[in-house]
Amino acid sequence: MQALRLADLEKLEVTEVPRPDAGERALVAVDRAGICGSDVKIVRGITQVAYPRILGHELVGTVVRSARGGHIAEGTRVLVDPFISCGRCVRCRGGRSNLCGNGALLGREVDGGFAEFVAVDDGRMLAIPDGISRDDAGFLQVLGVCVHAQTLVDVFPGQTGVVVGLGVGGLLHLQLLRTRGVRRIVGVTRSAAKRALAERFGATVTCHPDDAEDCVAELTGGAGADVVVESVGTVETLAQAIRLAGGGATVLLYGVTRAEAGRVDYVQLYLKELELVSSRAALIGDYARAVDLLADGVVQVAPLLSERFRLDRGTEAFDALRTRPEVVKVLLEVG
Ligand SMILES: [Zn+2]
Ligand SMILES: [Zn+2]
């Protein structure tokens, strides 16, 4: 089968590899696979993997061979939960398998979905209703991760929210906050194109990071925001999210900050009694909610699709994401 494989640091290649040996698992023919910011971090070596590795954890496809004893029939279109947990540890047994210490992610610790086929356990697939288009389905995994993060945060109608970073995750969080009743939302990004998208999704105001403090102060009469979503993953944006938060606010750490040093004004954590909430991956129930939100039209993803590339042009797809700041989401068309 064809696969987009990372042969070595910065060396992506389209190549022929053997089909995965599914064993007792289902064999899924991949239809769409989203390229995530974390895939780019792997290519650049910021996140390390063993080479060669087929990347890709945002995937949807069709079951071409059911798992042994599985409940999902051949021909079913499915969303794949890419996180493989052990099922035995205290986190797994406590219903928090997304935090499993023995877990592995498709496309990171094991080969992933930038390939024609992938082997998946029956319990890690969810059927996708016909009403969701093929391209829209390609957003279900990342939407599920955003849904999971939102379930960890209490919001109340009428509050003020800020989303720092308006990539796919930020723009999905913006829509989820609005759906949950957050009345005024500020979107922060350097990209004018992404600010325009955020306004289309109902941001009250959008601004460049340099203007964010003034913008939030003006909107809240100096009180600061009730909930701030950090959706970039740098120390600078984390520090800004903390500055934009008001007293008693919640800061949701959605962006993954891998830096081990940097300046944060720690006294603000004390002065404001902030609640910092971190979020990791998603549970199968979060993916089920994502399917419902998309099927019911509560969340819009079509405007986030910047470009779609066939799998054999996968290296160009990564280049597009890395070199063009206006690009929001790139999907690989595999099926
Ligand atoms: Zn991802
Ligand atoms: Zn476990």
* Spatial separation of the C-alpha atoms in residues 48 and 78, rounded to whole Å: 29
Nearest ligand for residue 94 CA: 2
Within its chain, how far is the Cα of 71 from the centroid? Answer: 27
Q: Do domains 2-144+282-333 and 153-278 have the same CATH topology?
A: no
Q: What are phi and psi of 230, to 5 degrees?
A: -90, 115
Contacts 24+ apart (CB under 8 A), 323-326: 325/190, 325/191, 326/191, 326/193, 326/194
Q: Give every strand in the sheet of 53-54, ordered side by side.
A: 11-16, 2-8, 53-54
Percentage above 70 pLDDT, the chain: 100
Q: What is the enclosing helix (H) or strand (E) of 226? A: strand 225-230
* Spatial separation of the C-alpha atoms in residues 45 and 141, rounded to whole Å: 23
Q: Which residues surround ligand 1, an ion (CB under 5 A)?
A: 36, 38
* Spatial separation of the C-alpha atoms in residues 182 and 256, rounded to whole Å: 24
Q: Where are the domains of the chain?
A: 2-144+282-333, 153-278
Residue 94 has pLDDT above 90, yes or no: yes
Instruction: Enumerate the β-bridge partners of residue 126.
Output: 79
- pLDDT reported for residue 75: 98
62 falls in which pLDDT band (50, 70, 90)?
very high
Q: DSSP class of residue 18?
A: P
Q: Give which of 320, 282, 213, 295 is closest to 58, Cα–Cα.
A: 282
Nearest ligand for residue 84 CA: 2
Q: From ligand 1's centre to the CA of 314, what distance in Å? A: 16
Q: Are 42 and 106 in contact (CB under 8 A)?
A: no
Q: Give which of 272, 252, 232 is closest to 41, Cα–Cα.
A: 232
Nearest ligand for residue 87 CA: 2
Q: Give which of 250, 52, 32, 267 is closest to 133, Cα–Cα.
A: 32
Q: What is the enclosing helix (H) or strand (E) of 63? A: strand 58-65
- pLDDT reported for residue 119: 98
Q: What kind of fold does domain 153-278 have according to CATH?
A: Rossmann fold (3.40.50)
Mean of pLDDT values over 14-40: 97
Q: Give which of 255, 198, 252 is closest to 232, Cα–Cα.
A: 255
- 52, two tokens: 């060669």
83 falls in which pLDDT band (50, 70, 90)?
very high
Residue with tokens 């003020």: 160
Residue with tokens 């087929």: 54
Residue with tokens 């971190």: 278
Q: From ligand 2's centre to the CA of 93, what distance in Å? A: 7
Residue 335 has pLDDT above 90, yes or no: no
pTM > 0.85: yes or no = yes
Report the chain's mean pLDDT, rounded to a whole number. Answer: 97
* Spatial separation of the C-alpha atoms in residues 254 and 149, rounded to whole Å: 7
How far is the CA of 122 from the CAs of 24, 70, 77, 290, 330, in angstroms?
9, 5, 13, 19, 27
323 falls in which pLDDT band (50, 70, 90)?
very high
Residue-wise pLDDT tens digits, 226-285: 999 999 999 999 999 999 999 999 999 999 998 899 999 999 999 999 999 999 999 999
- pLDDT reported for residue 108: 97
Q: From ligand 2's centre to the CA of 152, what distance in Å? A: 20
Residue 220 has pLDDT above 90, yes or no: yes
Q: What is the DSSP string of 112-129?
A: -SSBSEEEE-GGGEEE--
Range 2-144+282-333 has CATH code 3.90.180.10: yes
Residue-wise pLDDT tens digits, 161-216: 999 999 999 999 999 999 999 999 999 999 999 999 999 999 999 999 999 999 99
Q: From ligand 1's centre to the CA of 221, what distance in Å? A: 36
- pLDDT reported for residue 258: 86
* Spatial separation of the C-alpha atoms in residues 317 and 331, rounded to whole Å: 8
